[in-house]
A and B are shown apart, each in its own frame.
Chain A
Amino acid sequence: MNTDDLVLENVTKRFGSVTAVDDLSVTVPQGSFFALLGASGCGKTTTLRMVAGLEELTEGTIRLGDKDITELRPYRRPVNTVFQSYALFPHLNIEDNVAFGLRQRGVRNTATKVAEMLELVQLPGFAKRKPAQLSGGQQQRIALARALVNEPQVLLLDEPLGALDLKLRRQMQIELKRIQTEVGITFLHVTHDQEEAMWMADTVAVMNDGRIEQLGAPTEIYEFPASPFVSNFLGQSNLFAAEVSGTNGADLLLTSHGERFAAPSARAHSTDGRVWLGVRPEKVRLALPGEDTPATHNQVHGVLTDTCYAGVSTEYLLRTPWGQEMSVFSANAAAGEPLSPGTEVVAHWYPPHSFVLDRRLGEGDEIAQYSADPLGVAP
């Protein structure tokens, strides 16, 4: 039996001299919730539109199962889109909006299907209203209903939750996940919100500059990022410029700014030469000088420069001997005062929590800025 995976092969899109999507190849498994994650301008929306048929490809092919849909017009593809601005037809009521696609395909009795779909998105009885009478969240659900009612093979979502406030967004994220599990259709979801992507998706593809930098399950790409960009786009990372100085069994030995560190070779994308030694802030513990710390742990001495107490956790910033700012998240598991700025501390972590990335020439200041920026501004 052929699975109806969505396959993009060498897909490229150029607008004049600008390359928006650069030789992208990816397989979206049937029935999965797949997220395309990236900052504005990375090419994720363009990719989505090419799948929908709303943009022509410059190069490459798109296949659905064994059917090549590259040249097909949007109205011939078994694919539907939920637009970022909802794009509900203002001159039609809700029922006519939702039934639009069905009627185009010649389906006669649309009333029952429409009613079912309105139930699914929890807006029963809204059939006769007009889009302008609905709130943003309600419009978004109608847009979803309008697309889903056609039972497409792939449902495309273009940042559908962008315009909603936080609470509603959370609610809709749960809803969408529930609906996708219930209905079993492939969802291709485009977003710039990394939390949203990790929450909802089975697989996340992180895009940057028209290419996919890393693809995998949320835990996979979070715990073991493949590049400095991914390490700081998803959550935050501390990155130390280092050199590989040798091996010790299954571990890599690294030197950074005169200090020695270890990390498992299995957690390294590059095993010699110039590298980045990375560790997530929540994996780091703080100890006062003189306190016992496990001998195998990597250690960095430093002075606290800032403390942000947030109730659930505290974020500490400390300055390393070589002038880099390092960030540490500490869950407030025990009651007690947070440490104050000016305190000398030892930051330490369990070596397998590190990750090692390749460090390319010239990747200096730009990356150093990531570590120094506690807000984790995406590049």
Chain B
Amino acid sequence: MTAIVGAAAGPGPTAAAEPPPPGLRRRRWVPYLLLLPGGLWLLLFFVVPTVQLAGTSLYDRSGSLELGYTQTFAVGNYIDAITAYWPHLVRSALYSGIATIICVVLGYPLAYAIALKAGRWRNLMLVCVIAPFFTTFLVRTLAWKSILSDSGPVVGFFRAIPFVPDDFRLLATPAAVVCGLVYNFLPFMVLPLYASLERLDGRLLEAAGDLYARPATAFRRVTLPLSMPGLIAGTLLTFIPAAGDYINAELLGTPNEYMIGNVIDSAFLVRLDYPQAAALSFLLMATILVMVFSYVRAAGTDEVV
């Protein structure tokens, strides 16, 4: 179980890169040999396409697949893309940002409960956090369509509240999209947090109590700082995929809620406007990287890997 947790904890600062113990002689070429197949794969199918995508984003947009593209270093593609689709970029950042915050609010107590209060039930609870993953992503999201549907119990409950308008709905609103995002990425928040909190020595809290700290203070000054690596890893692992997601927007929202992912998808697969699609992709990457690095810097850690 810890292995799966470790995986979901991802490359966060909790996975420190320790060198192996000194002493035993190693043939110098062994690590390179081990890395070769996987490294080649990553190089060929990740690095090369990404570089190519960068090149594509600078093609002349008037070309097409049949007629061929001319490389014109058209930085204007980026300008066009931003002017046309900046609302979507903003919406992506906004929805995933809100979703991430909600995930923190919901996920921290759960992670805390599992790490420090669950006792014997800890492993079972962990399984329960990961289990919903096993139903496919789409099937889960569609279930939300049923839960939030206009004739369902949730909407019914809200409509029953006195000053709520009768045509109140949840589906096809930003709320539904955010709800879907929160639901689908909550485990990515909980698991790294759990990994961090699990290492917390309970005696530190006892010591804090012994030194006159009330529970809230002990949390603020002991638990929270020590769980920072997990919190950061969780936030990153939640925010990044959420920003690029478009399934939730498409299934639970309307074109008014479409995120940048939807635009990129249609640009690639429907409109076949490859240069613009590539430019949009890089804009998304750039937005994410900027937010990630400023966040990491502000949180005071320089370990992202």
Contact = CB atoms under 8 A, between A and B. Distances in A.
B and A form one assembly = yes
Contacts of B22: 15, 55
B165 interface: no
Interface in B15-43: 22-25
Interface residues of B, number: 4
Contacts of B25: 56, 73
Contacts of B24: 54
Interface string A24-60: 0000000000000000000000000100001110000
9 contacts: A15-B22, A49-B23, A54-B23, A54-B24, A55-B22, A55-B23, A56-B23, A56-B25, A73-B25
Chief secondary structure at chain B's binding surface: loop
Interface of B: 22-25
Contacts of A15: 22
Nearest to A56: B25
Given A15-B22, A55-B23, A56-B25, 6 more contacts: A49-B23, A54-B23, A54-B24, A55-B22, A56-B23, A73-B25
Contacts of A49: 23
Interface of A: 15, 49, 54-56, 73
Nearest to A73: B25
Contacts of B23: 49, 54-56
A54 B22 CA distance: 9
Q: Nearest 6 CB-CB pairs, A to B?
A: A55-B23, A54-B23, A56-B25, A49-B23, A54-B24, A15-B22
Nearest to A54: B23
A73 B25 CA distance: 9
A54 B23 CA distance: 6
B205 to A, nearest CB: 27
Nearest to B23: A55
A259 B60 CA distance: 101
Contacts of A54: 23-24
A83 to B, nearest CB: 13
A242 B24 CA distance: 49
Contacts of A56: 23, 25
A92 to B, nearest CB: 21
A361 B204 CA distance: 47
Nearest to B22: A15
A15 B19 CA distance: 14
Nearest to A52: B23
